[in-house]
Amino acid sequence: MKFPDRIFALGGAGKEIAFTLLEQEWVLRNALRPQPVPEDITVTIIDSAQGEKNLDETRINQIIKQKRKLENELRNTDYDIGYLDVKYKLITGDKVKLNSSVDLIGETSVPIITDGIGMDRDKWWIKSEYINENLDFATGVIRKRGLGKALYYKAYAEDDDISNVVDLPENGKVALVVGLGGGTGSGLMIDMARHLKRQQPTTEITLFGVLPNQVEGVKENTNAYATLSELEYLNLINKNLFKNLILLPIDPTNYDGKTGERIKTEKSLKEFDEAAVYSILAYYSTEKMEDPFTNQPKYAPFIIGVPQILRYNVEAIRKSRDAIREILIKKQQSLEAENDLYSSIFRYLENIEKYHPDKLQVQLKEQDINELQERFSNINSLLNLNLFKKLNYQSLSVYTDIIKNAAEQCDSFLEQIDLMGNSVGLVDTKNQVTFVDDLDELLADILEKEITTLTRRKNIIEKEKAIDDNQLRNTIEYLIYTKSGDQVNREMQLQRLQSSYNNFKERKERLKKEFKEKEDYIQSLQEKENDENQQKVREFVQKIQTPVQQYQKIQDSNLETDVTSLVTNLKQFNNNIISAEDDQDIDSISETEILSILEQIRKESKEFNIDVEGDIFKIKESLKKLKQAKKAFLLIHNENVFYKLKSIFKLNEEQQQNSIKNYKKLMAQLNSDAIFTLGASVDNFYSELIFTGQDIINDAIKYREWLESSIYNSMERLLKNPSRDIRDEFINSLKSGDDAEALGSILNKALQMEKTEFNHIKKQEDEIKNELKDLDYKTEIYDLTISLFKNLQNLRTTFTKKIIGFNDDIEKYKKPETDIISLPNVSENYYSYTKTIQPINVFRATGNSNLSESGLLNNQTELQHLKSNLEELVNNTRSQQYTNLKRRKIIQDRRRYEKIKIRLMVTSQAIDQINIGNNLDFHDKFSNAFDLNVSGRSAENPYTSWVESFGGDWDVNIVVFITGIFLDNIQKIVKAGGYRDSYFRCESKVGQDILIYHSFGLDEGYYVRRNKIFNLENKNDAEFFLQDEKKISDELLQNYIDYIDFLNPSSNNSVDLNLYEKGSLG
C-alpha cells in the first residue's frame, strides 16, 4: 500500500474525502507503520466555508489525538514510524480582509491583489454582482468558481501562511481532491496545480474530481461543464497540469446538493467518501508494476473511477455488541440500584407489618397488573433482540424456557411472576450453562436479576397497595418509580410528609397532656368513689354476716340425710310390725333408732327455724298406735299364740266387737296422722308407710332460698342496675360456700362497674390512650418514611436515570437506522458503494480482529459466498449508474473505439486467502461489456488487474478505473438537463457573467469551453472518434472549443496557444 506524498483537499467535497481518509484507523496505521523507508505524508485542507471552521478543527484535533495514540503504540520497533502532518487553511480566514465587497473590487484593494500575484490590474474579473455586500462565506463561495479563484488570489497576496500551506519542498506525487460542482475546489484546482508545478516542475499531480449529481442544481452542473471543458482544453494543447484526471461519479448516492434533504443521503455520502479513499489509495498502489495509466489520448484524458466495498458486518456486530454491552451495563447498574432501593423499602414495610400484620394482603388492580406486564415486556424485549438471536446466546433458551413454563402452568400473570422468581433461583447458570461469550453471561445475569426484581417489585406493590394511608402509598410509588408515583412532585411529597409528621407530633403532645389530666381526675374520682364503695361494702358484709352463716349451715347440714334415714327406719319398723305374730314379737320391735333420728332432726330444724314438733309427735304416736293396731288385729283373729295356749281364753261376741271397734279406731287415728296407713279390711292386716319427710326438706329448702334471696336483695338494693352476670356470680359464690367478705368483693366489683362518671371519664381516657398508640405508630412510621424518602433520593435518582437511559438507548438500538445488526438485511437490498454482508460463521468472525486473522475464508462455502457478492459489485462497476458512461462500446462499420481500458484492483487484508485460483479473474465480466480482446497485466493491454493487501479490517474492495474517456462519452455531459444543457441555460440568463463559473484563463481575460457535444448515437458523430488521434485533437481544438475574451469580445474564438504560459501563478 502506497500513499501520495502530498494530498491537497480543496473545497467541501475534497475536504470531506480527506477527513474520511484521516479518520480511518487502518489508514492511519498504514501511514504510520514502521518500515525501512517510512511514509512521509502531508494532507492539506483548503476551504472557504467560514461557518464550518469550528467543526473542521474539532475533527482535526480528534485525528491528531488518534494519530498520537497510534504513534505511541507503534514507536518501539526496529524501524522509524511514518510521518503524517495535517494542515488546514481557510482562504477566507482572519488574515484576509473581507469586510465588504470593497475588499474585492475597491480601487485600493484590487491593486494589492493583482500586484501580489503578478497579473494585470485591468484583467481583474470580479464585479459587484458576483458577490454579496457583506461577503458572507459561511458555507463557501456558493458554487462560483471565479469567486473561489479570486479569493485564492487575494489570500495569496495578503496571507503569508498560504505559501507555507501550498508548499512542495521536494519532488513527489500529489493527489488533488476536489468536487467539480462546487466553487472552491474546482475554482482553485488549476491555479493550485500551476502553483505546485512552479515549485516542482516534474512533480506528478493527479486530480481526483467528484462529478456532481446532475440533480444537485444548475450551478453545480454549470461548474462541472466549465471545469471539464477547461481540463479537456489543457490536455488538447499539451499543457496538462495533471498526470491523470480521475473522475468519481456520485450519482448512486442520490445527493441533491447542500440545499437538499441531506439526511436521506447521508449514509450513501459516507459510503462514497469511504469508497473514494480506496480509489485514491488503489491508484497509488501500483509501485511494483508498469504504470497502467499512461498513454491516454489527448482528446480522451478522463479516467472514470468506480470503487466498491464489500464489508463483512463483523465490525458492525462488534460495535453492536459493544453498544449493547454499554446498554446492558446501564441496565445492570439500574437493577443494582433498584434492588438496593427495594431492600430499603422492604425493611420499611416490615416495620409497618409489625403494627398491622393482618392488613398487608390485597388483590392488585388491573392498572397495577398492567404496569407489571409492561415491566415484563422489557424482559421479552431483551430476549427478542436480533443480535442475541444471531449470536445464538444460550441465555436466551434458559430464560425463554422459564417464562414459557410459567405461562403454561399458571393462569394468572401474578402467579407466573411468582413461579418465574422461584424457577430462577433453581437455575445454576454458572455450572449448568456454557455461555457463548462474556456478553452472553452478562445477559444471563441481567435476565436473572430482571425476573427476581420483577418478583420483588410485585411484592412491594402488593404491600404498598395494602397500606391504608395515601401519603405513605404515594411515597412508595414515587420511590419505586411507578407511573402514578412519577407524577408526584418530590419536594411537595417531602413537604407533605413532614407536615403530617409535625401534625401527628403536635396532636400527640396535646393528647399526652389531656391524658394526664384525665388520669389525675380519674385517680381523685376513683379514690372518692372507692371510699364510698368500701363503706357500703363494709356495711353490707356486716349486715349479711349472720344470714350468710345461716345459709352456709343449712347448706352444710345433714337434715335431708336424717330425714331420709328416718323414712328408711320407719319402713323397716312397718315391715317388722307386719311380720310380728304375737304381742311378744310386737313388743320386741325397737323404736330407739327412730327416736334418736327424730331427736337429731328436732335439733337441726330448730337451728333453721323449721317447726317439726307436730311431725315428731305424730311419728311417735303412730309408732305406738301401729303396734296397738297389730295387737288388736291378732286379738280379733285369735291368732295370738299366747291366747292360743290359754285356750281357756275365748272372746265373746261383745269382746269381739269391741276388739274390732278398737282396731278400726286405731286405723282411723293412724290414717289421720298420715304416717302409716292401715288397710280397710279387718280380715287382713296391711300397713304402709306414707310419711316421706319431704315437707321437712321443702321447709329447709324454702328457708335456704329465703336466705339466698334476702342476702342477694341486700346487695341489689345497693346497686342501680346489677347485671345478670353479677347476679349469677354472686349466687354461685354464695352457693359455693364463700363467706360474707367474698360476697362483699362481688358487691365492690359491681359498684366499680356502676361508677358512671368514672366510667365515662375512663372511656375518654381509653380513647385517648388508643389514639396515642395510633399516633405513636404514625409518628414512628412517618419518621421512618421521611428518613426513607431522604436517604433513597440519590439511589432513586440513580435508578431512574439508569432505567431511563437504558430505555432510551434500547429504543434507539432497536430502531432500524440504529440497530447495526439489522443492517446486513437492509444493505443486501439497497446500498450505494458499500455492500454489507454477514458471515456464515458469525462466531468465528466475531472472535477475531480482522478478516485475515479469522481464517473465515479457509472455508469454501464462505469463499464462494464472498465471490458471488464480489461479482455483484463488479457488475455495478460496469453499469451506467456508476460509470456515467454514455457508451461502453463505440463500433461503426467494423471499426471500434479501442482506447477504453479497464484497470481493476482488489484490496483486502485477507487478499492472499481470497486470490486463490481464478477467484479474482473478472476479465470476462468486462470483455464483453467493453469489447475487450486481450487480458494481462501490461500497460498496453485493455484489461489489467492487480491485488494489494490493505484495507479495513473486514473489507474487500474493488476499484475499477476506466481509462480513455472523452468528454462526449460522459453521460451527464450529454444528457438532457445535464451539464451542457445547464451551462448554456445559465448563460442565456446571465450572459457574459457566465465567466464567474469559470476559472482557467480569467486572470488573462478569457475563458474556454466546449461549444458542441457529439451524439454517440449518431453514426457520423460516433465515427468522429474513430479517426486518427491527432486529427481528433486538432479538429476539437480548432472547431469545438470556444475561446471567450471577455476583455476584447471581438477577438473571440481565436485560440492563442501561448496564453497558457502567461498565467499569473503559472
Predicted confidence (pLDDT) per residue in 979-1005, tens digit: 999 999 999 999 999 999 999 999 999
**Quick one: 184 and 229 in the same domain?**
yes
Largest CA distance in the chain: 217
CA 349, CA 353: separation in Å to the nearest integer? 6
Q: Rounded to 5 degrees, what angle do the CA atoms 494, 495, 500 make?
A: 100
Question: Who contacts 45 (Cβ-Cβ below 8 Å, separation ≥6)?
Answer: 9, 14, 15, 18, 19, 56, 60, 86, 87, 88, 89
Report the 3 state secondary structure along 361-409.
Answer: CCCCCHHHHHHHHHHHHHHHHHHCCHHHHHCCCHHHHHHHHHHHHHHHH
Bridging pattern class, strands 676-678 and 687-689: antiparallel
- What pLDDT is recorded for position 135? 64
Question: What residues have CB less than 8 Å from 241, skipping those under 6 apart?
Answer: 190, 193, 194, 197, 205, 234
Q: What is the DSSP letter of 542?
A: H
Q: What share of the chain is helix, strand, coil (3-state, %, to 5)?
A: 60, 10, 30
Asked whether residue 843 falls in the same domain as residue 913, the answer is yes
1055 three-class SS: coil
DSSP state of 1065: T
Cα–Cα dist 186/432, whole Å: 66
DSSP 647: T
* List of residues 6+ apart from 455 with CB closer than 8 A: 417, 418, 420, 421
Closest-CA residue to 315 (of 959, 960, 958, 951): 951
Of 752, 780, 811, the last residue of a domain is 811
Inside any domain, residue 161: yes
**CA 1054 to CA 1008: how far, in whole Å?**
11
Distance CA 514, CA 851 (A): 87
Q: What is the pLDDT of residue 822?
A: 44
Interior angle at CA 623, CA 618 and CA 629, nearest 5 = 115
Whole-number CA gyration radius for the chain: 63
Residue 81's domain comprises 6-287+298-313+972-1062
- C-alpha distances (whole Å) from 121 to each of 110, 659, 823, 1064 are 7, 198, 58, 11
Residue 1053 sits in a domain whose CATH number is 3.40.50.1440
Query: Phi and psi dihedrals of 146, rounded to 5?
Result: -65, -35
3-class SS of residue 902: strand
**Dist. CA 203–CA 215, nearest whole Å:** 36
The verdict on residue 851 lying in a domain is yes
Contact 954, 851 (CB under 8 A): yes
Tell which of 944, 970, 996 closes a domain: 970
The answer on 98 and 13 residing in a single domain is: yes
Pull the grid cell for residue 816.
Answer: 432500524
The reply to whether 752 falls in a domain is no
User: For the chain, which residues score pLDDT lower than 50?
Assistant: 259-260, 360, 485, 640-648, 817-828, 934-939, 1054-1055, 1057-1062, 1066
pLDDT value at position 64? Answer: 96
* 608 and 554 Cβ atoms separated by less than 8 Å: yes
Do 904 and 961 have their domain in common? Answer: yes
Q: What are phi and psi of 171, to 5 degrees?
A: -65, 150
Q: How far apart are CA 806 and CA 812, in angstroms?
A: 10
Q: Verify that 114 and 248 share a domain, yes or no.
A: yes
In a domain, 524, yes or no: no
What pairing do the DSSP bridges indicate for beta strands 173-179 and 1006-1010? unpaired
3 state DSSP class of 710: helix
State phi, psi for 1041 to the nearest 5 degrees: -115, 125
Q: State the virtual CA torsion across 856, 858, 864, 865 in degrees, nearest 10.
A: -10
Torsion of CA 165, 169, 173, 178, to 10 degrees: 20
Same domain, yes or no: 950 and 1017: no
User: Global pTM?
Assistant: 0.63
Asked if the structure places residue 509 within a domain, the reply is no
- Output the nine-digit C-alpha cell for 321: 455488541
Q: Is residue 715 part of a domain?
A: no
The span from the CA of 925 to the CA of 920, in Å, is: 11
Do 1012 and 960 reside in the same domain of the chain? no
Examine residue 723 and state whether it is found in any structural domain, yes or no: no
Do 627 and 644 have their domain in common? yes
Cell 492472499, located at residue: 912
955-965 vs 834-837, strand pairing mode:
unpaired
Same domain (yes/no): 174, 270: yes
**Alpha-carbon distance 331 to 446, whole Å?**
7
Would you give the distance in Å from CA 924 to the centre of its chain?
55
| Structural contact between residues 167 and 207, judged by C-beta atoms closer than 8 angstroms | no
The set of cell numbers assigned to 799 is 435508578
Helix (H) or strand (E) run with residue 453 in it: helix 438-466
Rounded Cα gap, residues 785 and 475, in angstroms? 8
User: Does 952 share its domain with 1008?
Assistant: no
Split into its structural domains, the chain has a count of: 4
User: Residue 502 half-sphere exposure, CB side, CA atoms within 13 Å?
Assistant: 6
Query: How many other CB atoms are there within 10 angstroms of residue 759's CB atom?
Result: 14
d(C-alpha 709, C-alpha 1003), whole Å: 145
Of 1005, 1003, 1007, 996, the residue nearest 1065 (C-alpha)? 1003
Of 909, 943, 970, the residue that ends a domain is 970
Strands 40-47 and 6-10: parallel
Residues making up the chain, counted from first to last:
1066
Written as one string, the DSSP assignment of 846-884 is HTSSSHHHHTGGGSHHHHHHHHHHHHHHHHHHHSHHHH-
**CA dihedral of 27, 28, 31, 32, whole degrees rounded to 10:** -150
Q: Do 61 and 107 have their domain in common? A: yes
Q: 184 and 141 in contact (C-beta within 8 Å)?
A: yes
SS3 978: coil
Cα(375)–Cα(473) distance, integer angstroms: 20
pLDDT of residue 40: 93
Specify whether 205 is located in the same domain as 232. yes
**In angstroms, rounded to a whole number, what is the distance separating the alpha carbons of residues 249 and 187?**
19
**Bridge partners, 958 (sequence order):** 308, 906
Say which residues have a Cβ less than 8 Å from residue 1041's Cβ, sequence separation at least 6: 229, 233, 236, 1008, 1009, 1010, 1011, 1055
Domain contains 701: no
